[in-house]
Structure 1
Amino acid sequence: MSTYKLALAVKAATAVLAFGMASQASAISFKAGDVDASIYGYTRLNMTYDIDENIAGPAQEGHFSKIAGSSATGHFGASANQSRIGIRLKNPDGVKLNVEGDFYSGTFRLRHAYGAYNGILAGQTWSNYTSFVGNTSVLDFQGPAGNAGLQHRQAQVRYTTGKMSFSVEDPKGDLNSGNGMVAKDSSPALTARYESKFDGGAFSVAGLTKQNSHDNGISDDSAIAYAAFAAGKIALGDSVTLQGAVNYTNGANKYLYQSNADDAYLDGTGNLENISGYGGSLGVSFKMNAGSSINAVVGMTKVDWDDALADGLAVGGESETNRNILVNYQWVPIKNVKMGVELSNWYTDRVNGTDDDANRIMFAAQYNF
């Protein structure tokens, strides 16, 4: 394969967030006066069979928080809640607008609502502290633990210049409620990200900082939190790609994807103490004929609860390690239609030494427009 074709292949791969992303190429485009407009989206059916306990969410996606060691096994479920629709507009001055939603909760849910012009974006869209270049294509809406950054959408103002982008965002996080904690958001989250492509691959690095705060009207304290990740993808020959990410957080565990951990706690002397964690994911994809592929990925997060436990907080039931493994086969029977089957294992290890896992099978059918 030529380096030009290889670069195009990697560019296409990194543009797709996962199996669930609608194809822009198949959008319905038209003119509305002097405005270029397109309507896009997909309908999506997810069916799952939870071999062990039921850990499915509204779109039949897996959740670590639902792993409880239940002896009730064998659960079937189906949902079309992941289906979505969106509209993009661009006027002659170069102003871009995007509004998109899905039906994840059973009713319409806003995903994106923003405007962008001359490098400045304002509204709600993917957090700047997110990258998809290291993601492996999976069927599960949640995907592997340890993917790069928040993997979610936040209200923000972002400035992009070249390969660098900076943002001021609505902060994401939870503080442990023990010892009379009264949490408040006292600052935005500040992010910076650099993302680039090279022959045969792509990479992204990012950093984030925010302030964790407690104030009960009598006493107060705060602590600076921070996080960083690196993610990348590289082609190994004509049909194989290797991709992954590594993450570290200190007081910003909501940005450690699927760790489900608090950011900080209040110790017995009234001081706010950050909780740290790390994680990552590593996957491989094999492209086959007619748009089909085989994908496998393992993801993991680990949170350090030792100080909170030593300070007497009741954190024994908290997850210390979350790990999942997902393997799927995807195929394209006809243009704009994609289907797949996936087998996954979800495992959690708690602070108190107990651990449980759950196995599940998923089938998905997606029709893009």
Structure 2
Amino acid sequence: MQSNNKLRMAIRATAAATIFGMAAQAQAFSFSAGDVDASVYGYARLNMSYDMDENVANSGHRGGSFPTVDDSQDVDGHFGAAAAQSRIGVKATHSEGVMVNIEGDFMGADYKGGALRLRHAYGSYNGILAGQTWSNYNSFVGTTSTLDFDGVAGVAGYGSRTTQIRYTTGPLSFAIEDPKGGGFDDSKNGMPALTARLEDSAGGFSYAAAALVKQNEYDDPVNDTDDSAMGYAVFGAASMALSDMITIRGAINYTDGANGYLYRSGGDDAYIDANGDLETISGMGGTFGASISLGGGRTINATYGMTKLDVDDLNDPTAGETNENAFVNYQWTPVKNVMMGVEYGYYNSENQGGESDDANRLMFAAQYNF
């Protein structure tokens, strides 16, 4: 009985998913069936947004997108609300140590909301994980909480989930993953992405570092041309509790031929030059933020992020070069399973020719966890 209680407590502790835009962790309820201890977790969530300038809201979750520099849709005042971010998940652990997690939300494949979308579907045993979950080239250590679902640009690594096989031993993990990115004509994946990550903590200091390599390749049978170029990426992230009230966080990420892993950069991994050679595009991003606990379940969070691509060789003044955004929010947790918050968000995009466009928006969120 005591071991079962311990296992249930562990399941409750680990069932809460750390995600962008989630201000409070889900509190799972658990049950047992034979040799399996299981938990069901999730939340119902309302997002409301008001775009002061150009309408950059995603209809499914009301998070903000970066404005298009050559867009003339700068029409003031857009309001919208959505509940598609709401999610549900099931986690089950067998007495022999096999764990399975399946989780979904209601944003659909097109992010417009309404249909169930698979987020996590994986199993793990003895340090080996197989299925779909957060990329191993990812860490939330340096991420400051936002109400905006997509969050701040430049955070550590790939900001979504991918299919993979991963092995974890202590603070180290290694994975073979479905590669992301591309963007050039006739691109193909000839090999998986290979990732390695170190993540650990000591007292009030937490840190993470990771590296990735992937192959970029294209094959044009019409013109009988093909080429390949290796891409790679590295990031570092950290957080530090300066006191019981204040925590600071940050991350830096460098990519070359792997801009699909430079979060919210919107950049291609490579381009095909006039000679038919595949040339990689490099980029850099970073974020910094701070959280202040006011007590009584109240926090203030502020964060800034930026990505910049080296697109000078494209000789295209309309090519996207820089994305930056910033958020300030107030979150209140009146009871354990409820969070409410308000947030101001700023977005700015600039192209290689020096033209830029920005957007300002307000957001309200209410989340009820179970």
Point out where structure 2 has 5 or more consecutive residues left out of the alignment: 1-12
Q: Which amino acid aligns with 2:193?
A: A
Matched, 1:213 2:217: yes
- Provide the alpha-carbon RMSD of the alignment: 1.7
Q: Distance in 2 between matches of 1:331 and 1:317?
A: 42
Q: Which amino acid aligns with 2:61?
A: A
Q: Which amino acid aligns with 1:344?
A: G
1:59 alignment partner, one of 56, 61, 66: 61
2:67, 2:347 within 8 Å by CA — same for their partners in 1?
A: no
1:126, 1:152 within 8 Å by CA — same for their partners in 2?
A: yes
SS at match of 1:307: helix
1:65, 1:260 within 8 Å by CA — same for their partners in 2?
A: no
Encode CA deviations 1:62-100: one digit per residue, 9 max, x unaligned.
111556352311000000010000000001110000000
1:69, 1:356 within 8 Å by CA — same for their partners in 2?
A: no
Q: Distance in 2 between matches of 1:19 and 1:161?
A: 29
1:261, 1:319 within 8 Å by CA — same for their partners in 2?
A: yes
Q: Which amino acid aligns with 1:112?
A: H
Alpha-carbon shift at residue 263 of structure 1 (Å) = 0.4
Matched, 1:80 2:83: yes
Matched, 1:103 2:106: yes
For residues 163-242 of structure 1, the aligned pairs below 5 Å read 163-176=171-184, 181-217=185-221, 218-242=224-248
Aligned length: 348
TM-score (norm 2): 0.91
Encode CA deviations 1:293-312: one digit per residue, 9 max, x unaligned.
00000000000001122xxx
TM-score (norm 1): 0.91
Question: Which residue number in structure 2 is paired with residue 129 of structure 1?
Answer: 137
Encode CA deviations 1:227-283: one digit per residue, 9 max, x unaligned.
000000001111100101001000000100000000000000010000000010000
SS at match of 1:135: coil
Point out where structure 1 has 5 or more consecutive residues left out of the alignment: 1-10, 310-314
2:55, 2:74 within 8 Å by CA — same for their partners in 1?
A: no
SS at match of 1:288: strand
Q: Distance in 1 between matches of 2:305 and 2:98?
A: 38
1:151 alignment partner, one of 151, 155, 159: 159
Matched, 1:91 2:99: no
Alpha-carbon shift at residue 44 of structure 1 (Å) = 0.4
Q: Distance in 2 between matches of 1:339 and 1:190?
A: 39
1:54, 1:66 within 8 Å by CA — same for their partners in 2?
A: no
SS at match of 2:296: helix
Encode CA deviations 1:328-347: one digit per residue, 9 max, x unaligned.
00001222000000001100
Question: Which residue number in structure 2 is paired with residue 4 of structure 1?
Answer: none
Encode CA deviations 1:144-192: one digit per residue, 9 max, x unaligned.
100000011000000001100000000000233xxxx311111100000
2:303, 2:326 within 8 Å by CA — same for their partners in 1?
A: yes
